Structure 1
Amino acid sequence: MTHKTKGIVLRAVKYGETSIIATVYTELFGIQSYIVKGVRQSSKKSQGKSNYFQPSAILQMEVYHNELKNLQFIKEFEWAYLYEHLFFDVIKNAVATYMVELLQHSLKQPEANPELFYLMEDSLKQLDRGDVTLTANLPLYFTLHLATELGFQWQGEFNKHTPVLDLEEGQYVGDIPGHPFYLSGELARISSEINSINFYNDLENIQLNRTVRRQLLQSFQQYIALHVSDFGELRSLSVLYELF
């Protein structure tokens, strides 16, 4: 039996002489690995088909699915959304790479999570269309909302009674905790503001300097690492530090 599902490509590696194995985050089945046959052939029919499997590509697919197998097969595929800028803009592509890597490190099981899929899909589309400020702030927004979809949303908000964000406990508290994983002062306030955003366009109104954005991104990524076992190190994070 075949199923139609959208999928976001996370990575692809060569397989045999003409095929690839693609890791795809799907709407119906969560993260899956697919053998895609013949897309690296030099024939006219196959020319350019490997481009569909660039990381962050959003595809409409018809797939075979067997829960007892680790490797599935893709029968048909086409663009579900065709980027205008993301594949060609170095900065937007770096942000997309971070989002893809963060998702890979955060997902430990293959089960479906449609809301998380829609967050990833919508964030990539907004990144493709967004201005410079939205692009720079999107990694912060995505990291916090990813944590929410994974089940560990922050509790409380910044105010004069709870001016400290305890990253280990995932909540705003009144006093500095006895560990180094916390934000206070302006960093805690801005974190609360970003966490309360419901519309991507609101990111265009948040003006942050390079130092603040770097501190926040480092702390937000640390928050997820504290709550996901065997999280590992993100190679793309250092690139964002340099860019933003």
Structure 2
Amino acid sequence: MLHHTQGIVLGTIKYSETSIIARIFTRKFGMQSYIVNGVRSKKAKGKTALYQPLSLLDMVVYHKPEKDIQRISEAKFSVSYASIPFDPTKRAIGIFLMEVFSKVLRNESENEPLYQFIEQSFIYFDHQEERFNNFHLQLLLKSTNFLGFGPENGKDLIYQLEEAGFHYSLVENELALLDRLMNENIGANISIPNTFRRDVLDHIIKFYRTHTDTLKEIKSLEVLKTVMTS
């Protein structure tokens, strides 16, 4: 049966000489795997661009609940990015978030509020011309509320990490910055030193790991750290 849905591309793997399997977080069905035949052939005329990291797609798909891999009947961009693929910092942030979400959402079923939040956040991110160095921190912190394990505030986040066996000694100003990242709108003017930004990211990753069992190694993390300090 055919269904219409939107989706966010969270990774692809080669399936054959001309095909791929795309992992897509969809509005209607949650995380799904789709085989896309012939997309890498010479006759495909650039269709691989549809399945680049974080592409926002409008799709008509076949969906059979008993199958692990579905098929796409039609796909087109719902929104075309203007800056994320071309700005080195934005691209590094995007690839990092793609890797994190591809693992955290691996078994996520339909979650339309989370889908809508992530989609709208990336559209906003694409249009940001400044103050986007905290985007990944705010997106990950705010997404925890849609995933069911959002901390009440910065103090609660640190408390949960300490309960899990991690130990931190943050000063009051750092807790206040955590609270601002959680509560203020994405893109807010929150001035954070690079060293503390790295610390916050470390806290967030460990926080996710205490609540999920799928976020192991993050290969893109070192690239992100390099780009964010250059």
Which structure would you say has the larger RCO, counting Cα contacts within 8 Å and 6 or more residues apart?
Answer: 2
Q: Distance in 1 between matches of 2:169 and 2:183?
A: 17
Q: Distance in 2 between matches of 1:178 and 1:21?
A: 36
C-alpha spacing 1:190/1:183, structure 2 compared with 1 (3 Å): farther
After TM superposition, list the pairs within 5 Å mapping 1:55-66 onto structure 2. 55-66=53-64
Aligned partners of 2:151 and 2:157 also within 8 Å: no
Deviation at 1:240, TM superposition (A): 2.1
Aligned partners of 1:5 and 1:62 also within 8 Å: yes
Q: Which residue of 2 aligns with 1:147?
A: 144
Q: Distance in 2 between matches of 1:24 and 1:36?
A: 12
Q: Which residue of 2 aligns with 1:105?
A: 103
1:188 counterpart (175, 182, 187): 175
Comparing both structures, which one devotes a greater share of its residues to helix?
A: 2
Instruction: Choose 5-14 or 74-83, whichever is displaced more.
Output: 5-14
Q: Distance in 1 between matches of 2:53 and 2:121?
A: 14
Deviation at 1:123, TM superposition (A): 1.8
What amino acid is the match of 2:138?
Y
Q: Which residue of 2 aligns with 1:138?
A: 135
Deviation at 1:55, TM superposition (A): 1.3
Q: Aligned pair count?
A: 227
Q: Distance in 1 between matches of 2:47 and 2:164?
A: 54
Deviation at 1:5, TM superposition (A): 0.4
Q: Distance in 1 between matches of 2:156 and 2:108?
A: 31
C-alpha spacing 1:56/1:106, structure 2 compared with 1 (3 Å): same
Deviation at 1:131, TM superposition (A): 2.5
What residue ranges of structure 1 are gaps of 5+ in the alignment?
A: 159-163, 171-175
SS at match of 1:184: coil
The structure number with the bigger radius of gyration is 1
Q: Write out per-residue CA displacement over residues 21-69 of structure 1, whole angstroms, 9 at most, x where no aligned residue.
A: 11111000011010111212212xx210111101100000000000000
Q: Which residue of 1 aligns with 2:89?
A: 91
After TM superposition, list the pairs within 5 Å mapping 1:1-244 onto structure 2. 1-43=1-43, 46-133=44-131, 135-155=132-152, 157=153, 164-167=155-158, 169=160, 179-182=165-168, 184-185=170-171, 186-197=173-184, 199-202=185-188, 205-244=189-228
Deviation at 1:179, TM superposition (A): 4.1
C-alpha spacing 1:96/1:183, structure 2 compared with 1 (3 Å): farther
Q: Distance in 2 between matches of 1:207 and 1:85?
A: 23
Q: Aligned Cα RMSD in Å?
A: 1.9
SS at match of 2:207: helix
Q: Write out per-residue CA displacement over residues 131-157 of structure 1, whole angstroms, 9 at most, x where no aligned residue.
A: 232x201011011012111111112x4
C-alpha spacing 1:182/1:77, structure 2 compared with 1 (3 Å): same
Deviation at 1:221, TM superposition (A): 1.4
Q: Distance in 2 between matches of 1:11 and 1:83?
A: 17
TM-score, normalised via structure 1 length? 0.86
Q: Write out per-residue CA displacement over residues 148-174 of structure 1, whole angstroms, 9 at most, x where no aligned residue.
A: 11111112x46xxxxx4453527xxxx
TM-score, normalised via structure 2 length? 0.91
Q: Distance in 1 between matches of 2:73 and 2:169?
A: 48
Aligned partners of 1:167 and 1:182 also within 8 Å: yes
What residue ranges of structure 2 are gaps of 5+ in the alignment?
A: none
